């Protein structure tokens, strides 16, 4: 039987995945906001810190479009794989730590997306991205605290064996 922590962590990761997929689909379905225009009427891309540029061709970070369908699908599939990993291999500390690190990284990327959506003034996507960021953050905290609590009894037992 799985501990309550494993069930909760798995559900939070799955909920974050669903919310992320919903947000990505909503963003794809949302018309682009207006971009700055030159006097000749051509759309110009705006350059933002961190290597991002936005314009008629879309968004690019280090030459990669983070909103491309294959990248979104890969993120959803990897998140589902992490949820499956926790469900099946929750006794392995490495799996729990990997999930915690991945959820932390996803949460950081979601926070960047919140800032981006604030900049383009899209309140619905700000709300969705914030929910996804919070869910990923909660999943990271749950995974890391679960991993730390599992290690404490092992360390105590090791100390007892040393004496």
- Which pLDDT score is estimated for 18? 97
Q: What's the predicted TM-score (pTM) here? A: 0.75
Domain ranges of the chain: 1-28+87-163
pLDDT at 52: 41
- Rounded to an integer, what is the distance from CA 132 to the centroid of its chain? 7
DSSP string over 83-127: HHHHHHHTT-HHHHHHHHHHHHHHHHHHHHHHHHHHHTT-HHHHH
CB neighbour list of residue 154: distance below 8 Å, 6 or more residues apart: none
Q: Which pLDDT score is estimated for 67? A: 81
**How high is the mean pLDDT in each 10-residue block of the chain (163 residues)?**
91 97 91 52 42 48 79 94 94 94 95 94 95 97 91 61 65
pLDDT at residue 6 in the model:
93
């Amino acid at each position: 039987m799985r501990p309550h922590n494993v069930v909760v962590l798995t559900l939070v990761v799955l909920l974050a995945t669903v919310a992320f997929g919903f947000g990505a689909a909503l963003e794809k379905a949302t018309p682009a906001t207006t971009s700055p225009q030159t006097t000749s009427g051509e759309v110009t891309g705006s350059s933002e810190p961190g290597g991002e540029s936005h314009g008629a061709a879309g968004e690019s970070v280090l030459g990669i479009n983070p909103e491309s369908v294959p990248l979104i699908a890969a993120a959803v599939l990897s998140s589902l794989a992490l949820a499956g990993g926790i469900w099946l291999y929750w006794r392995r500390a490495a799996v729990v730590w990997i999930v915690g690190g991945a959820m932390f990284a996803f949460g950081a990327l979601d926070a960047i997306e919140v800032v981006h959506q604030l900049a383009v003034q899209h309140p619905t996507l700000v709300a969705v991205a914030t929910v996804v960021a919070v869910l990923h953050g909660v999943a990271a905290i749950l995974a890391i605290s679960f991993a730390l609590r599992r290690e404490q009894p092992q360390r105590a037992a090791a100390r007892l064996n040393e004496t």
